[in-house]
Amino acid sequence: MHSINLKNISKNFVERTWRTTLGIGKAITVNALNSVSLSIPSGKIFGLLGPNGAGKTTLIKILATLILPDSGSASVCDYDLVSQPEKVRNLIGLVNANERSFYWRLTGRQNMHFFATLWNLRNAEKSKRIEDLLDLVGVKDKADVPFMKYSSGQQQRLSLARALLPDPKILLMDEPTRSLDPVAASDIRKFAKTDLAGKRGKTIIWCTHNLEEAREVCDTLAIIHKGTVMTTGSLEDMQKLITSKSLYRLKIATQPHNLLKKIGIPVSNVIENNGMMEIELAKQEAYIPSLLNHLVRQNIKVYSCRRKEVALDEIFEKLVK
């Protein structure tokens, strides 16, 4: 089942300057999204991966009903994004980096009470919900401290707690770990993956330009560049796009190079050390069992054979360039 379906979503913006305002220059149209089509599964973390200016935030704003697409259609849990925006808003929570909409002189708890009232939560229900969320995201001990004294990580945790106030089915997380230190960023990633998606079944859209973060957090990825979705799928699917062969690292007892050539092992990528050889092979998966069987029959000791994953940054670079 898919929580979100997008079909041919496009969005253009007009860049204006003082020259265009005075009618001197010509306004420039920027194509932020170009016919974006995506189907996002329920209960998973879906990564939007792309460089700054790729269109990720524009897509998040459209899903949050903050801006309208110029063309295309979209639905969130079967509600139309354009004609039923109120229904959609009740299903989503938005987490921004560099959050500025909190009241800095109010405490974390006071901020939460204010936003809970906007969500029409009342009395005992509101108080219990707030206390549960402050405890859930780990800022209960800072609840009575003014927001201006929160660290970046604590601000981001409170932002996440606020997004969870209406208990949304879908969380839109726009670069949620930007500007956070490594420990705080790791905590946010683990919390999203193990608790929100894992235990609570939330559907999460995670925007990032951090390749390793995408690898760690996301179940499925979409690489977006200059407003266009280049490809979607798992990391393994993307690896297959740039090469039909897998890279294997083989460790065997040292052998003469002429014997390796006869077996069909290239000697250009051989590293010899302490009576062992480490060899990298680019081969089809079906070829590996017969190769290992042949080595054993030749009484050649095989210490290990493992597949080496193609790095995500290599996939990203090749797809974009």
H helices within the chain, ranges in order?
Answer: 18-21, 56-63, 85-89, 108-118, 123-137, 152-163, 182-190, 211-217, 235-242, 257-263, 287-297, 312-320
Inform me whether the pLDDT recorded for 71 exceeds 90.
yes
Rounded CA-CA distance 94/64 in Å is 7
CATH fold of 2-7+35-240? Rossmann fold (3.40.50)
Across the range 139-146, mean pLDDT stands at 94
Across the range 299-320, mean pLDDT stands at 74
Task: Give me the chain's average pLDDT, please.
Answer: 86
What confidence tier does 230 reach under pLDDT thresholds 50, 70, 90?
Answer: confident
Residues 8-31 have pLDDT tens digits of 999 999 887 777 777 777 878 889
CB-CB neighbours of 313 under 10 Å: 11
3-state secondary structure (DSSP) of residue 189? helix
What confidence tier does 246 reach under pLDDT thresholds 50, 70, 90?
Answer: low
Q: To the nearest 10°, report the CA torsion of 237, 241, 243, 248.
A: -10
Query: CB within 8 A of 299, min separation 6: which ones?
Result: none
What confidence tier does 310 reach under pLDDT thresholds 50, 70, 90?
Answer: low
More confident residue, 303 or 204: 204
Range list for CATH 3.30.70.980 in the chain: 244-310
Inform me whether the pLDDT recorded for 242 exceeds 70.
no
What confidence tier does 148 reach under pLDDT thresholds 50, 70, 90?
Answer: very high
Q: Token pair of 191, please?
A: 């919390």
CA 91 to chain centre: 20
Q: Of 34-43, 51-60, 244-253, 294-303, where does mean pLDDT reach its minimum?
A: 244-253
Across the range 215-226, mean pLDDT stands at 89
At 115 the pLDDT is 95
What confidence tier does 292 reach under pLDDT thresholds 50, 70, 90?
Answer: confident
Give residue 274's identity as a one-letter amino acid code. N
Percent with pLDDT over 90 in the chain: 45
What confidence tier does 50 reach under pLDDT thresholds 50, 70, 90?
Answer: confident
Q: Token pair of 260, please?
A: 């390796």
Rounded CA-CA distance 161/109 in Å is 11
Across the range 171-188, mean pLDDT stands at 86
Inform me whether the pLDDT recorded for 245 exceeds 80.
no
Inform me whether the pLDDT recorded for 244 exceeds 60.
no
User: 244-310 — its CATH code?
Assistant: 3.30.70.980
**Taking a C-beta distance cutoff of 8 angstroms, is the pair 205, 173 a contact?**
yes
Q: Of 7-11, 223-227, 310-314, where does mean pLDDT reach its minimum?
A: 310-314
Predicted TM-score (pTM) of the model is: 0.74
Inform me whether the pLDDT recorded for 240 exceeds 70.
no
Range list for CATH 3.40.50.300 in the chain: 2-7+35-240
Q: Which of 105, 129, 133 is nearest to 117 (CA)?
A: 129
**Taking a C-beta distance cutoff of 8 angstroms, is the pair 205, 48 a contact?**
yes
Across the range 124-133, mean pLDDT stands at 93
What confidence tier does 210 reach under pLDDT thresholds 50, 70, 90?
Answer: confident
Inform me whether the pLDDT recorded for 181 exceeds 90.
no
